[in-house]
Amino acid sequence: MADLFQKIKEVTELDSIAGYEQPVRDFLRTKMTPLADHIETDGLGGIFGIKNSRAENAPRVMVAAHMDEVGFMVSHIQTDGTLRAVAIGGWNPLVVSSQRFTLYTRSGRSIPIISGSLPPHFQRNGSHAALPKIEDVIFDAGFNDKKEAESYGLLPGDIIVPQTEAVLTANQKHVISKAWDNRFGVLMVTELLESVKNKELNSTLIAGANVQEEVGLRGAHVSTNLFQPEIFLAVDCSPAGDIYGEQGAIGKGTLLRFYDPGHIMLKNMREFLINTAQEAGINFQYYCAKGGTDAGAAHLKLGGIPSATIGVCARYVHSHQSLYAMDDFLQAQAFLQAIIQKLDRATVDSIKAY
């Protein structure tokens, strides 16, 4: 587990929001180049390693993470030197205040910055302050005024990313970090390619990561049109509901995500996944999701692509600190490897048979 934690620490401490995925793209390019036959990028910056199959009429199978995490983008520099921002991805305003972030300027300079909060002393009559809107949250880097902020290279459009360090919990079973949504998927892809680098597959494997998932599944539209897979597998992290009486419990295995508002898993795909999990002895749990993944965009392309999401859950996603089980990653990785080993022409045709 110590080796796995170090890998998790490496990927989660990268900073990369939608539209600014270069750090994660560079990481993936370095990791995937020796493991794939070649590397390809799409026009928005998605990156994929291609492992060709020698099998006759081999199906094309796409495994896609996404590189971006949630963050903010500077919208205004105020005369007093503080900043206002727009959310890049979904944020609960309650988790934004009084947190540390890193601001990246156009030149790549990193600047420490915090989000402001209203002290109780300034609340009238001791009443509770109203829930802030994201656009009203103050970001403060300690500049005296707008001129000083601009002298350090700040411009509207600069990005603001949560600043945290990945740590192990006391029982050594769980990790606390930012960005497991979706550095989980990034690590899933590199571990998958490592596992099959010396194996012959009966499908052409297209494994990598999309851009801009957190702002509307944008990258998946582009990459599926470019690579034209017959099967699409998103690898993504979902919110855990265990402490709220909902589905998704950390430590209980990978998720069989049969429904979300943008994607209903096809019957044949569901049967294939259940059978594969049971045959491989994978711990899995059924999950009815309230949010979407890149499968929601991909399954509507090219006349329809049977799709699924292979994932895990984490508590407190889309915040500075999420909490998740390392064993769930191992179960999800074993599940993905078992799926890829089984996806030959006959199996893909059976999934697509109506």
Estimate to the nearest angstrom the gap between the alpha carbon of 160 and the chain centroid: 17
Neighbours of 186 (CB within 10 A): 24
CA dihedral 64, 67, 70, 72 (to 10 degrees): -140
d(CA 249, CA 324): 9
Residue with tokens 């994929």: 48
pLDDT of residue 122: 61
Query: Is 299 known as a binding-site position?
Result: no
Q: Span 274-283, mean pLDDT?
A: 98
Cα Rg of the chain (Å, integer): 21
Phi-psi region of 179 (alpha: psi -120 to 50; beta: other; left: phi over 0): left
What percentage of the chain exceeds 90 in pLDDT? Answer: 92
CA atoms lying within 13 Å on the CB side of residue 15: 18
In this predicted model, what pLDDT tens digit does every residue of 63-73 receive, in sequence order? 999 999 999 99
Q: What is the CATH number of domain 2-69+178-351?
A: 3.40.630.10
d(CA 112, CA 89): 21
DSSP string of 267-289, one letter each residue: HHHHHHHHHHHHHHT--EEEEE-
d(CA 15, CA 20): 9
CA atoms lying within 13 Å on the CB side of residue 48: 30
The dihedrals phi and psi of 268, each to the nearest 5 degrees, come to -65, -35
Query: Is 221 known as a binding-site position?
Result: no
d(CA 73, CA 247): 33
Determine which helix (DSSP H) or strand (DSSP E) holds 140, and give its type and residue range. strand 139-140
Determine which helix (DSSP H) or strand (DSSP E) holds 239, and give its type and residue range. strand 231-239
In this predicted model, what pLDDT tens digit does every residue of 145-181 receive, in sequence order? 999 999 999 999 999 999 999 999 999 999 999 999 9
Q: How confident is the model at residue 127 (pLDDT cuts 50, 70, 90)?
A: low
d(CA 57, CA 178): 42
The dihedrals phi and psi of 160, each to the nearest 5 degrees, come to -125, 125
Query: Is 320 known as a binding-site position?
Result: no
Give me the residue spans of the domains in the chain: 2-69+178-351, 71-162
pLDDT of residue 239: 97
Residue with tokens 């709220």: 244
Query: Is 318 known as a binding-site position?
Result: yes
191, 343 in Cβ contact below 8 A?
no
pLDDT at position 133 over 90:
no
In this chain, the answer to whether the domains covering 2-69+178-351 and 71-162 adopt an identical fold is no
Q: How confident is the model at residue 2 (pLDDT cuts 50, 70, 90)?
A: confident
3-state class of 327 per DSSP? helix
Joined tokens for residue 184? 């989980």
Q: What is the CATH number of domain 71-162?
A: 2.40.30.40
Joined tokens for residue 212? 């801009």
Query: Is 181 known as a binding-site position?
Result: yes
d(CA 233, CA 63): 5
d(CA 89, CA 171): 32
Average pLDDT for the chain: 95
pLDDT of residue 296: 98
In this predicted model, what pLDDT tens digit does every residue of 38-81 receive, in sequence order? 999 999 999 999 999 999 999 999 999 999 999 999 999 999 99
pLDDT at position 126 over 60:
no
Residue with tokens 């009815």: 288
Catalytic residues: 213
